[in-house]
Amino acid sequence: QQKVQQSPESLIVPEGGMASLNCTSSDRNVDYFWWYRQHSGKSPKMLMSIFSNGEKEEGRFTVHLNKASLHTSLHIRDSQPSDSALYLCAASMGYRGSALGRLHFGAGTQLIVIP
Amino acid sequence: GPKVLQIPSHQIIDMGQMVTLNCDPVSNHLYFYWYKQILGQQMEFLVNFYNGKVMEKSKLFKDQFSVERPDGSYFTLKIQPTALEDSAVYFCASSLEQGAETLYFGSGTRLTVL
């Protein structure tokens, strides 16, 4: 059973628009979250991490986490064509899982930003 | 930024043969990992490795799998013998310290077992 579910599977937004991606853990022990971006044929690169309830913003990217529902979301404002990529949500079993580098990945959301 | 290189990017072998996947981690990194991604599915953790030893492995890390990093050279994943279900993309990662905060991934090796 997958521990991390992402939605939607794919998302098309116009350039300049807002992209909102969702991720939920089905395992209450899996509660530290990361967001990765993977351009086609390239390596996944970490965008942001969030471990506590609330919101974290870095430039055009904002992540939210609700630990009660184990739901995290990534929002990209002023989306650019270069943001077109596969966005992967990953989670670990708390600090120890993180320390071991043992991440549970979702299947990803394919984002397409149309000029 | 730091790069993890995986060689080759594609490999095709016959079932039952041995295969070695090579990973050139970031030069000063100390922790090494392999993940496996079957086509259309999510990436899944296989193993992590530090100071010459496997620290943790998942149930996907079969007895036919082994990892090593002799004397600071490539970090390798060896599969012997291979099976059809080993066909997947294998991602290597490395980190300087413990913790997923500092993980860097390679771009993967696509292994096809015929």
Q: Using 70 as the pLDDT threshold, list the residues of chain A that sit under it.
A: 1
Indicate the pairing of strand B10-13 with strand B109-113.
Answer: parallel
Query: Which residues from A are below 8 Å from B when comparing CB atoms?
Result: 2, 4, 32, 34, 36, 41-46, 49, 88, 90, 92, 97-108
Q: What is the pLDDT of residue A19?
A: 98
Nearest to B92 by CA among B37, B12, B11, B15: B37
Q: Residue B42 corresponds to which tokens in the numbers above?
A: 């999510």
Separation CA A83–CA A52 (nearest Å): 26
Are the C-beta atoms of residues B37 and B106 closer than 8 Å to each other?
A: no
From the list A49, A100, A105, the residue facing B42 with the nearest CB is A105
Q: What is the pLDDT of residue B70?
A: 85
Q: What is the mean pLDDT of chain B?
A: 93
Q: How do residues B64-108 score in pLDDT, each as one tens digit? A: 999 999 877 899 999 999 999 999 999 999 998 877 777 899 999
Please give the backbone phi and psi of residue A29, each rounded to the nearest 5 degrees, phi first.
-80, -15
